[in-house]
Amino acid sequence: MATASNKKTKQETINGAEILTEALVQQGVDLVFAYPGGASMPLHQALRKYRDQIRTILPRHEQGGGFAAQGIARATGEVGVCFATSGPGATNLVTALADAKLDSIPIVAITGQVPQHVIGTDAFQETPMVEISRSITKHHYMITDINDVARIVKEAFFVAKTGRPGPVLIDFPKDVQIAQLDKKPDYDPDMNLPGYHPEQRQVAREQIAQIVAAVKRSKRPVLYVGGGCVLSDSSEELLKFAELTKIPVTTTAMGIGAFPGTHPQSLDMLGMHGTVYANNAINEADLLIALGVRFDDRVTGKLDEFAKHGKIIHVDIDHSEIHKNKEAHLPVVADVKHVLESINEMITPDDVPDIKDWLKQISEWKKKHPLSYKDTGDEIIQQYAIDELYRQTVKQDPYVAVGVGQHQMWSAQFFKFQKPRHWFSSSGLGTMGFGLPTAMGVQAALPDALVIDIEGDGSFQMNIQELATLFCENLPVKVLLLNNQHLGMVVQWEDRFMSGKRAHTYLGPVDHPEALGDGDGSMPAESYPDFTKIAQGYGLEAAQVRKKSEYPKAIKKMLASKKPYVLDVICSYQEHVLPMIPSGGTYRDIITE
Amino acid sequence: MKHILSALVMNQPGVLSHISGMLGSRAFNIESLAVGATDNPEFSRMTFVVNGDARVLDQVRKQLEKIVTVVRVLDFQGKDFVERDLMLIKISTEGGKRSEIHGLVDIFRGSIVDVSPDHVMVEIAGKENKIDAFVDIIRPFGILEMVRTGRIAMLRDHVLMADLSSPQESIEEAHTKKTVRKKTTA
């Protein structure tokens, strides 16, 4: 560690926190979310100093900062950055890190740590953050030497965004933050990552030829497309391949937007709440082309029965995904984009299979089992609310974040996305409270875009404090709050599998008959809490709407506002997300009414 | 089925904890895990004995390789390799059985590394079944205490190197070490 030498005439020195901040600038970072505390104050002093280069936004909870960093990353493809102090600040980031790991989102989280001489003594606000984050990050560092700061930042960004992206944690003890270096740091040092080799593997021509041959032979092919297509920016290549071959495309929750949602070849989402036609197609397929997916249980249901009639081509950049859940007949470890490019180069009109009968079958399924919802008079149901929002905003190319639960699945079903990186959902971890802070990050990264957060009243309250950030930082996110006074998805499971017995799924006062499911089912005269008042208290514009006849106008008014806005939409709680394949079931178990 | 995996890992704090945490959280059944230094102070070498079918082994290997501080992983399945366990065992010599024990130790090519009035400490190295056999045969004398290392293993004809670009799979220089019999004495 360097100490200032005053032998010579005044020497320029720089401290560890400033080196880290400069290193972020060198990585192209111009926006971070950071919540200060005792062990991270030098970092905040450095961020203050660098405020012309980096906009630092103060979230109201570290978890909000973590998801906001995800918002930046999910919307732009660049690494999102968040800061927290040691101890509780750092542990508050844990959920956002785990979420980023499961959805492969590149973020770098920087946590203050107590000075090294007290590490291990149960010091005030000390937690072993590296230990805690091992299994929920792609990689993690503790900086123990000021000479390592620039290298570690460079490595962290490299690891976060290359290969299969993921979160990286840098734990930064306070004594290294304030240590002084009396020479100019090298911001582009050699990396020391002998065990990390994300370099693109060349896809063997032979493998591409095998894929093309399999496509040519197929009679009932399906493309099963996931987050890997979004992360690798391969939508264009996917569209080209799909349109050439006419192969229908179904996406996972992470893959939404990778293929245009209104395209005639789109089968929409598959899996537990996927469409009948997507799940039928998967089951009957003789060739499943799985691109950037991981055969998650919410997609496959019973693994043995999933796509059991077809050959499986599985392309993924992460070789541990190959054969993990489902044996692939033709495994390809590579970037989806490169594979699609190679296929598009090789494939000729001769290789295009004749699948007319298959497409006819699929369009019959589509006609017979379309995504739909019933007309409920003047009552607002969530599906309608989302559908109407979609109709009113589709031309503005909106960015939509969601919480977790029924409203998330309905948004996945009824909001059609034409482009990737416009739909933000905590799909792997399923974190309630994801929507608002993620939308906040997206809005900060894309100030001119229309950013919408579709929420349930359960999810919304898990990070509601970020309304303050929206107001104070002029982030005009539009919150569509689908308020049914219940934890709707759990209620749905109670209705389907537990004879409707309510167990802590009612969000109003506990002495209300609805708490045990003994109410009359009508929408409450007064909802709890008063979200418009809360939003107004934070300085936002807000309104409540209960009648379908008034809903389109209410949406219009929200969209016309230049400010952050909460529209509290009172919905019924009796609606179920359909179709539904019960956990561990097969396409045959699908519930459609 | 048992398999041996050998890994070069970066010699840093927390690597072992990371690996054992990953193995535990993914419910992989590890029979033994031995860690030690290598000739290069930057790397340590780990040897795993894994229980499971080919699919489990494949996942263990891939998940290990995904850890950034794990540099190289090699599966010894179907390869020609030398494997050793080392055991220290304290055996009672009550009833004047010392010379009888000594004879057995010689047969198993072990050595007596410590002698006390009522017991001896024996060091014995070899393959697992040899050590198991020694334990069985010595049990009637009275085992006071024993300790075993995990398995260590090395391929006969290949060198596991950190640098991916070097043709480590075909290097033939290590072939001289045909027998690795230790002649340690106390």
Residue B164 lies in a domain: no
Give yes or no: residues B74 and B89 share one domain.
no
Output Rg (C-alpha) for chain B, integer angstroms: 19
Give yes or no: residues B102 and B53 share one domain.
no
Please state whether the peptide bond connecting residue A529 to the residue before it is cis, i.e. omega within 30 degrees of 0: yes
- Token digits of residue A190: 């050699």
Q: Which of B47, B62, B78 is the last residue of a domain?
A: B78
Looking at chain B from residue 56 to 115, which residues have their Cβ under 8 Å from any Cβ of chain A?
58-59, 62-63, 65-72
Contacts of B60 in chain A (CB under 8 A): none
Please give, rounded to a whole number of angstroms, the shortest distance from the CA of B85 to a CA of chain A. Answer: 28
Query: What is the β-pairing status of strands A311-316 and A287-291?
Result: parallel
pLDDT digits (tens, 9 = 90+) for A181-194: 999 999 999 999 99
Residue A24: its H or E element: helix A16-26
Residue A63 has φ and ψ, to the nearest 5°, of -60, -40
Give yes or no: residues B59 and B89 share one domain.
no
- B68/A324 CB distance under 8 A: no
Give yes or no: residues B27 and B74 share one domain.
yes
Does residue A377 come out as left (phi exceeding 0), alpha (psi in the -120 to 50 range) or beta?
left
CA angle at residue A540 from A539 to A544, to 5 degrees?
130
* pLDDT over 60 (residue A500): yes
Please give, rounded to a whole number of angstroms, the shortest distance from the CA of A35 to a CA of chain B. Answer: 27
* Nearest of A545, A406, A543, A571 to residue A478 by alpha carbon: A543
Q: At what angle do helices A149-161 and A16-26 cross, to 10 degrees?
A: 40
- Rounded-to-5 percentages of helix, strand, coil across chain A: 40, 15, 45
- Chains A and B form CB pairs within 8 A to the count of 42
Judge whether B55 is closer than 8 Å to chain A, CB to CB: yes
Averaged pLDDT, A224-233: 98
Please give, rounded to a whole number of angstroms, the shortest distance from the CA of A466 to a CA of chain B. Answer: 33
CA–CA dist A197, A147 (Å, integer):
24
- A130/B14 CB distance under 8 A: yes
Q: At what angle do helices A551-560 and A382-393 cross, to 10 degrees?
A: 40
CA–CA dist A467, A61 (Å, integer):
11
A18: annotated active-site residue: no
Residue B23 lies in a domain: yes
Does residue A271 come out as left (phi exceeding 0), alpha (psi in the -120 to 50 range) or beta?
left
* Stretch among A117-121, A375-379, A453-457, B157-161 having the lowest mean pLDDT: B157-161
Give yes or no: residues B110 and B127 share one domain.
yes
Q: What is the pLDDT of residue A448?
A: 97
> What one-character-per-residue DSSP string does A334-376 give?
S-HHHHHHHHHHH--GGG----HHHHHHHHHHHHHS-------
A174: annotated active-site residue: yes
CA–CA dist A443, A445 (Å, integer):
5
Give yes or no: residues B91 and B71 share one domain.
no
A contact set with B (CB within 8 A):
130-131, 134-135, 138-139, 159, 193-197, 318-320, 323-324
Residues in chain B: 186
Identify residue A386 by its one-letter amino acid code. I
Contacts of B67 in chain A (CB under 8 A): 195
* pLDDT over 90 (residue A93): yes
- Token digits of residue A549: 């006849």
Residue B171 lies in a domain: no
Give yes or no: residues B94 and B51 share one domain.
no
Query: Within 13 Å and on the Cβ side, how many CA atoms surround A450?
Result: 15
| Catalytic-role residue among A124, A191, A346, A547 | A124
- B68/A318 CB distance under 8 A: no
Judge whether B53 is closer than 8 Å to chain A, CB to CB: no
The torsion of the CA quartet A233, A236, A242, A243, rounded to 10 degrees, works out to 170
B71 to chain A: closest CA residue: A195
* Stretch among A32-41, A194-203, B31-40 having the lowest mean pLDDT: A194-203
pLDDT digits (tens, 9 = 90+) for A239-273: 999 999 999 999 999 999 999 999 999 999 999 99
Q: How many domains does chain B have?
A: 2
Give yes or no: residues B17 and B68 share one domain.
yes
Q: What is the pLDDT of residue A10?
A: 63
Strand order in the sheet with A107-113: A55-57, A31-34, A80-84, A107-113, A168-173, A139-142
Contacts of B9 in chain A (CB under 8 A): 195
Q: Which one-letter DSSP state was computed for residue A487?
A: -
CA–CA dist A221, A281 (Å, integer):
8
- B9/A320 CB distance under 8 A: no
Identify the residue whose tokens are 């379309």.
Answer: A370
Band (B186; pLDDT cuts 50, 70, 90)? very low
SS3 A284: helix
* Stretch among A327-341, A450-464, A510-524, B29-43 having the lowest mean pLDDT: A510-524
A327 to chain B: closest CA residue: B55
- B66/A320 CB distance under 8 A: yes
Residue B41 lies in a domain: yes
CA–CA dist B131, B133 (Å, integer):
5
Q: Which of B78, B104, B129 is the last residue of a domain?
A: B78
Contacts of B14 in chain A (CB under 8 A): 130-131, 134
| Catalytic-role residue among A18, A22, A33, A62 | A62
Strand order in the sheet with A330-333: A266-269, A249-251, A221-225, A287-291, A311-316, A330-333
SS3 A281: helix
Identify any residues that bridge with A224 across adjacent strands, giving them in sequence order: A250, A290
A125: annotated active-site residue: yes
Task: Give the domain extent around B121.
Answer: 83-148
Query: What is the β-pairing status of strands B2-10 and B70-75?
Result: antiparallel
| Whether B158 contacts B145, CB under 8 Å | no
> What one-character-per-residue DSSP string does A369-381 give?
S-------TTB--
- Token digits of residue A397: 């190319």
A345: annotated active-site residue: no
* pLDDT over 50 (residue A406): yes
Domains of chain A by start residue, with CATH: 14-181 (3.40.50.970), 205-368 (3.40.50.1220), 382-570 (3.40.50.970)
Give yes or no: residues B71 and B12 share one domain.
yes
| Catalytic-role residue among A142, A489, A558, A580 | A489
The torsion of the CA quartet A107, A112, A117, A122, rounded to 10 degrees, works out to -100
Let me know if A244 is exposed, middle or buried by CB neighbors in 10 A (0-12, 13-18, 19+).
Answer: middle
Residue B173 lies in a domain: no
* pLDDT over 70 (residue A3): no
- Token digits of residue A201: 């593997």
Q: What is the pLDDT of residue B172?
A: 36
Residue B37 lies in a domain: yes
Give yes or no: residues B89 and B58 share one domain.
no
B122: domain CATH number? 3.30.70.1150
Averaged pLDDT, A526-555: 97
Which of B22, B42, B68 minimises the CB distance to A139? B68
Which of B55, B59, B70 minimises the CB distance to A320? B59
A124: annotated active-site residue: yes
- Token digits of residue A35: 């919540």
CA–CA dist A253, A316 (Å, integer):
17
Give yes or no: residues B54 and B91 share one domain.
no
Residue A504: its H or E element: none
Please state whether the peptide bond connecting residue A420 to the residue before it is cis, i.e. omega within 30 degrees of 0: no
* Nearest of A563, A568, A569, A554 to residue A470 by alpha carbon: A563
pLDDT digits (tens, 9 = 90+) for A344-396: 999 999 999 999 999 999 999 999 999 999 988 999 999 999 999 999 999 99
Contacts of B25 in chain A (CB under 8 A): 135
CA–CA dist B102, B117 (Å, integer):
14
| Catalytic-role residue among A26, A125, A180, A465 | A125
Contacts of A320 in chain B (CB under 8 A): 59, 62-63, 65-66
* Stretch among A310-314, A460-464, A518-522, B101-105 having the lowest mean pLDDT: A518-522
What percent of chain B shows pLDDT beyond 70? 87
Q: Which of B78, B112, B128 is the last residue of a domain?
A: B78
Judge whether B9 is closer than 8 Å to chain A, CB to CB: yes
**Alpha-carbon separation of residue A76 from A72, A192, A225, A421, A454 (angstroms):** 6, 28, 20, 7, 20
B54: domain CATH number? 3.30.70.260
pLDDT digits (tens, 9 = 90+) for B125-175: 999 999 999 999 999 999 999 999 999 999 998 888 776 554 444 333 333
B51-82 residues labelled b (16+ CB within 10 A) or e (exposed): ebeeebbbbbbbbbbbbbbbbbbbbbeeeebe
Judge whether B10 is closer than 8 Å to chain A, CB to CB: yes
Q: What is the pLDDT of residue A571?
A: 95
Please give, rounded to a whole number of angstroms, the shortest distance from the CA of B51 to a CA of chain A. Answer: 17
Q: What is the pLDDT of residue B164?
A: 54
Band (B177; pLDDT cuts 50, 70, 90)? very low
Residue B182 lies in a domain: no
Contacts of B62 in chain A (CB under 8 A): 319-320
| Whether A486 contacts A528, CB under 8 Å | no
Q: What is the pLDDT of residue B168?
A: 42
Averaged pLDDT, A57-70: 98
Q: What is the pLDDT of residue B2?
A: 85
Give yes or no: residues B67 and B117 share one domain.
no
Residue B170 lies in a domain: no
